[in-house]
């Protein structure tokens, strides 16, 4: 039997609501510290380090 958590919307709504693509938690603005994208902003899951879900931050304009 599939149980549904009443606190989280269905996974089909996560994209529209800007929730984590992996677990459905809220996302937080973060800045890449290392690597190719150092200094750029992105959205990271608030459940980190248990979840590593990310989303690109849309460019302004």
What are the pLDDT digits (tens) for 10-53?
Answer: 777 787 788 888 888 899 999 999 999 999 999 999 999 999 99
CA dihedral of residues 36, 42, 43, 46 (deg, nearest 10): 60
pTM, to two decimals: 0.72
pLDDT of residue 10: 76
């Amino acid at each position: 039997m599939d149980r549904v958590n009443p606190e989280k919307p269905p996974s089909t709504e996560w994209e529209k609501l800007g929730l984590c693509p992996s677990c459905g938690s809220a996302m937080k603005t973060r800045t890449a510290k290392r690597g190719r994208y150092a200094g750029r902003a992105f959205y990271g899951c608030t459940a980190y380090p248990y979840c590593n879900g990310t989303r690109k931050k849309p460019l302004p304009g």
